[in-house]
A and B are shown apart, each in its own frame.
Chain A
Amino acid sequence: MMVGIMNGTMSLVIFVLVIFGVVFLIGFSKRALFRMALRNLWRRKTNIAVVTAGLLIGTAIITSSFVIGDTFGYIFKSVVYEELDRTDELVGALGGRTGAYAYFPSSYYQNLSDARDAGNLTSIDGLAPAILESAPVLDTLTSLSEASVNIMGIDARADAEFGFFHEVDGDRITGETVFLQPNATIINERLAKQLDAEPGHIVLIHYTVYINETIPDPRVKSLTVASIVKNVGKANFLWGENLFITLDLAQEMFEKPGMINLIRVSNEGGVETGVARTDSAKEEIEAVIGTKDENPFGLEVMTIKRDNIDIAEEGSQAISELFTIMSTFAIIAGVILIVNIFVMLAEERKSEMGTARALGMKRRHLVLSYVLEGSVYALLAAFLGAFAGLGIAYLMILAFAQIFGAAGLAIPFYFEADSLILGFSLGALITFMTVVLSSWVVSKLNIVRAIRGIPEPSLARPTRRFVVMGGLLVALGVLLTYAGVVQLSQAYFMTGPCILLLGGAMVVSKRWGTRVPITVASLGSIVWILLPVDLIEGMTGGMEMFILSGVFLVLSAVLLVMANSHALVNFISRLNAGRKDALPVVRMALSYPMKKKFRTGMTLVMFALIIFTVTVIAMISSFQANFVEGTYEDQSGAYDIIGTANYMTPIANISGTIQSSSILANRFDEVGTMTTAFTTAYNAGDGENATFHVRVYGANDDFLDSNDFTFHSISADYDGPDDVWDAVRTNSSLIVLDASGMLVIQGYAPELMNVLQAEVDDTVVVDTPLGPSEKQVIGTLNEFYFFQGMITSEVFSQDQFGPQLPVLFFFKGTDSGSSNIRSLAKDLEKEFVGSGLQTTVIWDFLAEQLRTQSAIMNLIQVYLGMGLVVGIAGLAIVAIRSVVERRQEIGVMRAIGYKRRMVMRVFLMEISFISLLGIIAGIVLGVALSFHIYRGFFGATAEFTHFLSLIPIVNLLAIAVIAFVLTLLLTISSAFKAAKIVPAEALRFKE
């Protein structure tokens, strides 16, 4: 678990220990109560397994979400440690207009080195100057190339402080001897694999030098592969395809004599522990070179390792939270199960509780007895649940490994003991609190009625307290609705009217009885939640809406069913009226659950909630799988292929080259291009403190004329996309943004994406070589996959950022959409191999993305489906309990003419009825709510018939069948037991 939570974990563990310690201490001081609690627990041994299984699920789900977070945290952090190795900070200036590091005199390195020798850099144990550029590399023997290779010029002697290179045959080398040969290079295994290179091969680096910083001069450098080293330590820098040369050679190649663009810094301590000294290291370095604002080259100490570790931790925490949020339904169901279990236990022991009270036991003693028993259950279930969670997480990680394995990402299973302890503590605490509450409620009894087994009188009219409660709910509902409108909060605006309706129903029930008001209120709530209209513009809501909608929908549906139970029983009875044997079975099977409203209602809520969640996830999965076209429209701009060239080797006149190419001529309808400049910008509304790195794309006329990228929003001053693009072409102060900023603003993407957040009509201040320049956002795109930043015209970009050549290309083939596009993409790469052009067939890329997302959703569906165990355990307990408490009635049934098989059918039908009702309610509500999500996906193109066609009927049927069959399997033994009861014995039976 994350370090930040450590303190929280400890406090929680201590809190839990204190609570259980106090409970058991009181238990020991009241030995008789403790003995009674333990014996009650042990009395029905078969119950223990079912009850524990039901209780442990909450803990298991909580623990598994933590452990999944652990694993991802471990993976993310491992990536950071492996790609940075001993490097903790980088000294340099991001700000070369290509986005690469800007050059500065190597004297800065010398100053730092001198300071260290003088003992002024006590937090640092390694310093090394470097030149880092990216360029395409070609192996002359194999003719294979790699477009983006990190070209690293290093000082082998200084670099020795960052560890060794490890040759593939196992030797450790520093590079000094290797670099004695002229034009020698060391490459890592990753690059060697791409090039199929071996020692002795000649490789060519294609790069561009800008004469006087303006005129591009393409060059090629020939090098000999002297050594191939493993992808470990410094050779794995930035997880890239790395090629190492001497610093002198790099300075010569890039014509930067006496200059470097990076200083790598290693802190005192190891790869993982050095990061703790980040602050002091930064302080010491800044004392020598000055801060970013103080030195003329804008050099800053980039705390790269700590930043990346923070991002890794935030990322894994986000994953953990996502799983926890999605598991909320199962946890709620678990809490309901605990309440149900304790209410049933209390019913079973009502007579002895009455006797105990008659003999002088106080109500608090009864509560304590239950709490003691519940504490044993809570601890046992939390202990087993924590390990079950570990198992669940392991299976999930295995499944994730299957999904991502193809992409070459290794996903090892990893967990920290803290997660188990935290899961255990939270699980035990939730169970304990529910137990205390339930115990308090069930301990309230009428002694005489309890002893004599007389049922509690049913109230003809609601009590005064019920009405007052209703009044309070009305007030709360009004308050929430008002808060929703004022704060533009969907959560309040949705729940307020639901609570208001329920409270209203309770108030008027004094006059009109409960059935009609509750029916109206629950139907009203369902309609309100499912209303496919946004009544108030600009309301926001996040994941909590999913939880709240689910809980309120399911509660309303269950209230509706329970309020109209009599009508439901009559209706089903009439359907079976003509069939011999059927009616007595149906009537008996349905009457019990419909009369035991609390128990049935709670069980229904449990079951329906889980099925609801699984259904919604299945629906989202279906939407995703069917959203290729929508995604394609948004992300592709109607182009077929996206191409990127290395910034070192931009392509000056791609259309001309294509026309003169024997393999490419006349195969394209349109070719759009973009230059890119790297700078910083901030939203004028947010102020200079919220400055972000941004790319400024300079689009050529072809792109501005021909792209079909869809817009998320357009300023009211413009008629449509064409109008917007025309404005961008003619006015340098107008820009279009991609979707990434909007995604953060709307809560779909995390803040840590660190992107400029702006909406249409916002003013953005962009840093240019000519000074700050104000731009007005006139449109935001839906695109975010292939380019992220602001779009202006190529001409305006060059005016402000100096001469640039295009590096981003958009191709539309003459046979657009056909499978020929793939070969076209390959031919493009062949033709522009010298520029390292990398192509992506947009349709294939998006389809793969959606397949992966869909696979993840299916996995989450299975994960949430595990909550079914709660529902099924709940039904199993109801079944066991039903047979026990109705033993005598079974005797009467058998005496008056129910055959054995009829008794069995009564019990099977009873459980099937609850389970089917829960399944149907969950699926229907899940599908209905998904219409909201569908509209979010498909926007303006959303149509109800299309929505219906996307319902994954087979998937939902499978969910229903699995849930139903599992329920029957677990409850069938109870039905068998009921059928085998000998009537004479049953009639003698006293519980």
Chain B
Amino acid sequence: MEQEHIVQAKNLHKVYETGELKVHALRGVDIEIERGEMISIMGPSGCGKTTLLNCLSGIDDPTQGEVIIEGTSLADLSDNEKTEYRAKRIGFVFQAYNLFPVLTAAENVEMPLLLGGVRLREARKRALKALKHVGLEDSETKLPSELSGGEQQRVAIARALVNDPAIVFGDELTGNLDTETSDQVMDLIHEMNRRNKQTFVIVTHDPKVGDMAHRVLKFRDGTVEKEYRPIG
């Protein structure tokens, strides 16, 4: 049976212009990601990994080329439609956790649900469930500043997964964590992927994290240099 492509990127180019300086961050990238797949994008700093992630998730527009998610070309969507799509179908986890510092853990997690129009009571119920999944059921009223780095990242994962997104993008999500916490977070991601069949696209420097994916894209100078499936 032919695998369904949840994300397709065709001939993606991204050029940043700063005055007269032009930086080619992406130089004709073609990628296809299957539903339920966990893919990692690896490469040295400045090779265009994060730019690719931004273009794939619709928070940035490619200079040239097309991104199709779940059969819809992002280029055909307005900014509002892209935003609504992200709210309902996409989750994000960032290296610096990027939780809202003034909201409690539960309030952070329920935010995507509220944005999707879920009522407060229902949103809170689901947020608490998501926090329980990541092992933080006792931290719902804590502010991010009262949590450790690993706990914050777990809250971020709960926030990314709470609205049951089709695809989750993670940008260096273990970059700020120690080895043990990093392992715990990746185990959690792995479990979510296996249990919920959610698609994960993870940008990382860490070969250990990269090798936990089904497929690894090695990036260099804005293009996919190498693609392989890790063993085990």
Contact = CB atoms under 8 A, between A and B. Distances in A.
Interface of A: 455, 457-458, 573-574, 577-578, 580-581, 583-584, 587-588, 591-592, 594-596, 888-889, 891-892, 894-900, 982-985, 987-988
B86 A895 contact: yes
A872 B107 CA distance: 31
A239 B5 CA distance: 100
A584 B102 contact: no
A892 B92 contact: yes
Nearest to B16: A985
Interface string B50-76: 110010010110000000000000000
Mostly helix, strand, loop or mixed at chain A's interface?
helix
A897 B87 contact: yes
A889 B103 CA distance: 12
By CB atoms of chain A within 10 A, which of B79, B80, B98, B119 has the most? B98
A595 B59 contact: no
B107 to A, nearest CB: 7
A897 B83 contact: yes
A897 B103 contact: no
Contacts of A988: 50
Given A895-B57, A896-B159, A580 B102 contact: no
A356 to B, nearest CB: 23
Contact of A983 (B60, B88, B101, B111): B60
B188 interface: no
A257 B139 CA distance: 108
Contacts of B112: 896-897
A900 B79 contact: yes
Contacts of A987: 54, 59, 94, 98
A898 B102 contact: no
By CB atoms of chain B within 10 A, which of A577, A580, A587, A892 has the most? A892
A594 B103 CA distance: 11
B83 A898 contact: yes
A895 B59 contact: yes
A900 B80 contact: yes
30 contacts: A457-B145, A458-B143, A573-B120, A574-B120, A577-B119, A577-B120, A583-B114, A583-B120, A584-B111, A591-B100, A591-B102, A594-B102, A891-B59, A892-B92, A892-B100, A894-B59, A895-B57, A895-B59, A895-B86, A896-B87, A896-B115, A897-B87, A897-B115, A898-B83, A899-B80, A900-B80, A982-B60, A983-B59, A983-B60, A984-B60
B117 interface: yes
A540 B94 CA distance: 64
Question: Top 4 A-B pairs ranked by shortest CB distance?
Answer: A897-B87, A984-B60, A897-B115, A595-B102
B116 interface: yes
B34 interface: no
B183 interface: no
Mostly helix, strand, loop or mixed at chain B's interface?
helix
Q: How large is the interface on B (under 10, 10 to 19, 20 to 34, 35 or more residues)?
A: 20 to 34
A984 B111 contact: no
Given A455-B145, A591-B103, A888-B98, 4 more contacts: A573-B120, A894-B83, A895-B57, A984-B54
A895 B60 CA distance: 10
Contacts of A982: 60
B145 A896 contact: no
A587 B107 contact: yes
B101 A896 contact: no
Contacts of A577: 119-120
Contacts of B103: 587-588, 591
A899 B111 contact: no
B84 interface: yes
A561 B118 CA distance: 30
Contacts of B84: 897, 899
A587 B106 CA distance: 13
Given A577-B120, A897-B112, A588 B145 contact: no
By CB atoms of chain A within 10 A, which of B59, B88, B98 has the most? B59
Contacts of B107: 587, 591
Contact of B92 (A583, A595, A895): A895
B130 to A, nearest CB: 14
A712 B145 CA distance: 64
Nearest to B171: A987
Nearest to A593: B102
Interface in B136-172: 143, 145-146, 159
A584 B115 contact: yes
Contact of A892 (B87, B98, B114): B98
